[in-house]
Amino acid sequence: MMSILRMKMDFGHLLVILTLLCTGLQAAAASEWGYWGKNGPESWPGICTTGKIQSPIDIVTKDAKEYNGSSFIFYQHNLSFPATLDNNGHSVGIKLHGAPVHIGDEKQPMGYVLEQMHFHWGAEHTVDGLRDPLELHLVHYNPYYANFSEAAQHPFGIVVVSVLFKLSRYDNPHLKPIVEATKKVSCKVGRRTAIRGELIPSLLLPKNRKTVYYYIGSLTTPGCQENVGWFVLTEKLTVSQSQVNVFKRVRGDNGRLLYNYRPTQKLNDRVVLKINLG
């Protein structure tokens, strides 16, 4: 049996879906797309408009199919890493420096390599129609390919782990160094800074990681390649409104990014699994 990350789990409908995967498009230039106005999501090019398995989606909990899966392991996430944060005009992205960080399971312990992390405010995935104030994407690629760009062109090339944040009266202390770094880059696209201290990836994950929603989808930015396995953790972290407001002050090419989420896309004939991990 193949790894849970590859999700060949005797679900014929998933295999049918995978045959629809496209060869992918190169990402559009930063100035050519945005989240509102003439360059908003309705005008994103190519498969962003024509694709049938696009992301994000609204997760309808009563419709999710229960499945018991094998363990989902985060390797080296408890270690601390030097990290940098940059304003790419559409979000703030985090790169870790040092030994590679992986996700996998018992059969494929080094299944996917962490490429980068970034935030969306509000959340891109909704659950039963509810949009949380913040979502973190941990973007991984299959190390069979030379790099992320090559992996993005192939089925099973990309896996994204999504963490949703619910609103709290209190600051999330583990977001503090990221929020402080965001302040330093917010005024100019392309600006980069070191995150103070070292970043421990596990602190950006909920402690309870035993249940996830899984579905086949796409990147949520142009070119929206339809080759992404999405794992949306059911357990949420917290964030304060004041911390969210810092992200909202980040400047993009067309002024402040008051929000940077793509609207939810049609599920079509896809199935969302609720996987209970061992």
Q: Assign residue 97 a region (left: φ > 0; alpha: ψ between -120 and 50; beta: otherwise).
A: beta
90 catalytic, yes or no? yes
The tokens describing 22, both together, are 């496209």
Give Cβ neighbours of residue 90 (< 8 Å, ≥ 6 apart): 30, 34, 35, 221, 252, 257, 260
Rounded-to-integer distance, Cα 239 and Cα 12, Å: 39
Cα separation of the two ends of the chain: 16
Q: In this predicted model, what pLDDT tens digit does every residue of 38-70 receive, in sequence order?
A: 999 999 999 999 999 999 999 999 999 999 987
pLDDT of amino acid 278 = 66
Q: What pTM was computed for the model?
A: 0.89
The catalytic position among 13, 77, 90, 125 is: 90
Q: In this predicted model, what pLDDT tens digit does every residue of 169-182 receive, in sequence order?
A: 999 999 999 999 99
Is residue 198 classed as helix, strand or coil in its secondary structure?
coil
Has residue 33 got a pLDDT over 70? Answer: yes
Q: In this predicted model, what pLDDT tens digit does every residue of 225-263 receive, in sequence order?
A: 999 999 999 999 999 999 999 999 999 988 999 999 999
Q: Identify the structural domains of the chain with CATH numbers, from first to last.
A: 12-277 (3.10.200.10)
Q: Are the C-beta atoms of 121 and 104 separated by less than 8 Å?
A: no
